[in-house]
Structure 1
Amino acid sequence: MERKSFLKSLSIFAASTPFVLSGCSKSDAISSTTDSTTDSTTTSSTEDTTCTVTPTETEGPFPTKSPSSYVRSDITKGDGVGASMSIKIIITNTNDSCNVLEGAIVDIWHCDVNGDYSEYGGTTMQTNNYQSYHWLRGRQTTDSTGVVSFTSIFPGWYESRATHVHVHVYNSSGKSLLVTQIAFSDDLCISVNTNGSSYGYTKGTSGYTKNASDNVFSDSVTYEIATVTGSLSAGFSMTKTINVSA
């Protein structure tokens, strides 16, 4: 099955998954400024302050097969390809007035600059075969401030999807609390893929899917978009708060 068709079928399932949204509206400010001449990019988003659970999204066709085997903060490939990006995720508990949740297990995974995932491939869905590799996947446990941190790269993209990072949150006993995805501003993604060829982003933006047209983010991006600062040359810093019901 083609990846695009598969993801469309998954989106039907994701769209049917209920979640409560209140207070915030789609008009919440998301701003970005990009200066390709000076290679300076800063993107900001309005965090959801309503203390509602972050939207549930599909785990996708490429989840980590044995996430407990990849307890690590540095999830890079080690080949120097891709603009560096530090990832900071804060987990809060909606059942505790959105105070931070210590001891939560957080798995993340995302594609490389070409839109490929490790642990998969050699099929029509992903022709490049990376079944024996495990890069861009990792697990960490939240500290006393509810934070997990990873070192990675700015993700690439593939047909029918906007740029994204997958997240699966468990409680300290391993019970699944939330599967979701993190989005990035369209302006930032287009800038990276337009100006980042020397960092490996050579696909350009022809056929790129923006958040408003993405099967996953089109109805919920306000609550899923990350705050990102930095640049291609200096590296990016991404921060996102995720609310779970624990």
Structure 2
Amino acid sequence: MDRKEFLKGIGLMGLAATGATLFACTVDSDAQTSVTEDGDTAVSNPDSTSSECAVTNSETEGPFPTKNPASYERIDITGDRTGIDLAINIVIRNVNEACAVLENAIVDIWHCDADGNYSEYGGTGMQSTNYQNYHFLRGRQVSDANGVVKFKSIFPGWYNGRATHTHVHVYSATGSSLLVTQIAFPEGSDSAVNAVNATSEYGYTKGMSGYTYNANDNVFGDGVANELSTVSGSIEDGYTLDHIINVRA
């Protein structure tokens, strides 16, 4: 399967689950991203006078950033990890151009596995399981003409003190850092977070006991208005995460 067909497969994963076009409105009511029937991602930009065309919140890179991200330019970041499929679609937009989509942005993402562990770290009090010689769930892509990067992964687990999340670092085409941020997941009784963490047969063995919700999270506790993704799908068919990130480029 070539790269174009693979990307279409990722984009259509959510359609198979919902039977309709997926929309994510993660920044304001006028800015939407949708996966079309041919697997492309289309974005409608807000009016240039919109007060909501603002840079996405900057957050800590965290204690587990990718040590050599340029080495992991890839679509499938799963590695040897098992879990429930997650297609990740991120649109990068430029605040300096009235939130027009940004082509050729370098986008790094990383997140923990179903047990809440990160690759490239471990063997310490912060993470007892030693994965220093592993590089799973880390990847880099360059945004296309629609400002889109797509990754194939698994649904992240969680660990003490943090809600379910994914890390993102966006660079310019020349490698200058534009934004470090994090993506939050919707919560609630009918959310994917609840459903996934009830599936011990897929490796998510913690359930929701002791889970830290977004409102009490030390990163998201001040609000997730422009960091909250849209997640759709099912346990059986996998989930799709759609999200918009605004940077100043």
Decide: shared fold, TM above 0.5: yes
The runs of 5 or more residues in structure 1 that have no matched partner are 1-38
Deviation for aligned residue 1:186 = 1.6
Deviation for aligned residue 1:191 = 2.3
Counterpart of 1:104?
105
Deviation for aligned residue 1:222 = 1.5
Are positions 1:69 and 2:48 aligned together?
A: no
Are positions 1:47 and 2:26 aligned together?
A: yes
Q: Percent identity?
A: 59
Counterpart of 2:197?
193
What whole-Å deviation, never above 9, does each CA across 1:120-141 have from its counterpart, x for those lacking one? 0000110000000000000000
Mapped partners of 2:25, 2:174: distance in 1: 32
Deviation for aligned residue 1:218 = 1.3
What whole-Å deviation, never above 9, does each CA across 1:209-233 have from its counterpart, x for those lacking one? 0000001011121210111110111
Are positions 1:118 and 2:113 aligned together?
A: no
Deviation for aligned residue 1:190 = 2.1
Mapped partners of 1:47, 1:70: distance in 2: 27
Within 5 Å, give how 1:131-210 maps onto structure 2.
131-187=132-188, 188=191, 189-194=193-198, 196-210=199-213
Amino acid at match of 1:230: G
Mapped partners of 2:26, 2:131: distance in 1: 35
Counterpart of 2:33?
none
Mapped partners of 1:44, 1:208: distance in 2: 28
* Contact residue 85 and residue 238 of structure 1 kept, 8 A: yes
TM-align CA RMSD: 1.6
Q: 1:221 aligns to what SS in structure 2?
A: coil
TM-score w.r.t. length of structure 2: 0.79
Cα distance, 1:156–1:44 mapped onto 2, change above 3 Å: farther
The runs of 5 or more residues in structure 2 that have no matched partner are 1-16, 29-51
Are positions 1:214 and 2:217 aligned together?
A: yes
**How many residue pairs are counted as aligned between the two chains?**
204
Counterpart of 2:61?
59
Mapped partners of 1:172, 1:96: distance in 2: 16
Counterpart of 1:25?
none
Within 5 Å, give how 1:4-83 maps onto structure 2.
46-49=25-28, 50-79=52-81, 81-83=82-84
Deviation for aligned residue 1:48 = 1.4
Aligned residue among 229, 237, 241 for 2:240: 237
* Contact residue 230 and residue 242 of structure 2 kept, 8 A: yes
Are positions 1:87 and 2:91 aligned together?
A: no
Mapped partners of 1:83, 1:74: distance in 2: 14
Amino acid at match of 2:74: R
* Contact residue 45 and residue 225 of structure 1 kept, 8 A: no
What whole-Å deviation, never above 9, does each CA across 1:53-108 have from its counterpart, x for those lacking one? 000000000000000000101000235x2100000000000000000000000000
Mapped partners of 1:186, 1:160: distance in 2: 16
